[in-house]
Structure formats: structure tokens, C-alpha cells
Amino acid sequence: MYEQPADLVELQRTIDESFAAAGSHLREIATPDRRPDAGEIADRLTGMRLLVLATSTRDGRPINGPVDGIFYRGRFHFGSSPLSLRYRHLCERPAVSATHLPDESFAVTVHGDAEFIDIHAEEHAELKQTVLDIYLPLYGDKWTEMLDSGAWYARINPRRMFTFAMTDPD
């Protein structure tokens, strides 16, 4: 878990405000006892977590695809190539939705805006180290070369975040 106390407070505020504005159908499914709090979300999302990320085309059609999500300081981060369609979409239309859904018992969905960040900047040194700690053991130095060759990173600044968890009955 990489969150500071202030990150958890902000994350919890976002979750609470999102559910307060949610429709009745969602509130019937994600009842208060099925809504993990900010601390549990941060614990469960440590490491790389696959996300389905939705962007939109110029004519408003949604397109989604998988990305490696890194949950860091209460927000999802992801990267890709500057040659990707996703990159072109986000340059023109930063609004995104992303969902982490490993199975039917746990889900996190975020709606917000992607903000490009310079992962090599000093202000993002801890994030860069977190990313390296995750990927170097898996892919070795070739991954560092890829990161240094122009890959970009973005974070999702959430407008809404919905969480859901069901525990197994004992």
C-alpha cells in the first residue's frame, strides 16, 4: 500500500460522494456492507492490477481495452506507447472510465480524466520506483529500456469511484 493518510481521506471522500449520487439500482447492489472502504481498496490494489480502460473516438464511440493499472496514492496510473490509439484519444479527449474486475466478488470502477505525467520528473520519483519494483523482476532491464524510450504514463483523476466486495459466507 502506497497511500498516505491524506490520500485515504480523499479516496474515501470520493467513494462516499459517488455512492451518495448513485442511482437506486447501484445502491441496491452495492449496499453499505458491500462497499470496501479506502483502506481496504488500497490494500487490495497493491501491485499491478489489470484494468479495462475506456476512451472515446472523435465521433463519440467508446473503445475499451486492457491496461496495466498501478494503484498509487489513491489513484490508478497506467502507461502505453506514444504510437498507440489510446494515446491519440487521450490527447484529444481525456475523459476515461476504468474497471478492475478480477471476479464477481470484487470490483472497482472509476470515471474521471486521464492526466499525463512525466514519470521521469523528480516529483514522480516514488511512482517511478514503484513501477520499477513491480516490472523489473518480471521483465528485467528491457522493461527499463522501454520506459526510457518514450513510453508515457497517466493517472486517472476520479470524478466518481464505485467499489464492491462480497465476502464468502462462513
Q: What is the pLDDT of residue 56?
A: 94
Question: How does pLDDT run across 63-115, given as a tens digit for each residue?
Answer: 999 999 999 999 999 998 888 899 999 999 999 999 999 999 999 999 999 99
Residue 167 has pLDDT above 80, yes or no: no
List of residues 6+ apart from 35 with CB closer than 8 A = 15, 19, 163, 164, 165
In words, the CATH class of domain 5-164 is mainly beta
Rounded mean pLDDT of 33-60? 94
Q: What is the pLDDT of residue 141?
A: 86
Residue 11 has pLDDT above 80, yes or no: yes
Bigger pLDDT: 62 or 143?
Answer: 62
Burial class (CB in 10 A: 0-12, 13-18, 19+), 154: buried
Rounded mean pLDDT of 153-169? 88
Bigger pLDDT: 139 or 99?
Answer: 99
Q: What is the pLDDT of residue 169?
A: 47
Q: What is the pLDDT of residue 143?
A: 82
- Please give the model's pTM, rounded to 2 decimal places: 0.92
Task: Give percent above pLDDT 70 in the chain.
Answer: 98
Please list the alpha-helical segments (H only) found in the chain: 5-20, 24-29, 38-44, 85-92, 125-139, 141-148
- Average confidence score pLDDT of the chain: 92
Do the bridges between strand 95-103 and strand 152-165 make them parallel or antiparallel, or are there none, so unpaired?
unpaired
Q: What is the pLDDT of residue 170?
A: 47
Q: What is the pLDDT of residue 168?
A: 58
* Cα–Cα separations (whole angstroms), residue 135 to 42, 52, 75, 77, 158: 19, 19, 19, 14, 25
* Contact call for residues 151 and 79 (beta carbons, < 8 A): yes
How many other CB atoms are found less than 10 A from the CB of residue 103? Answer: 7
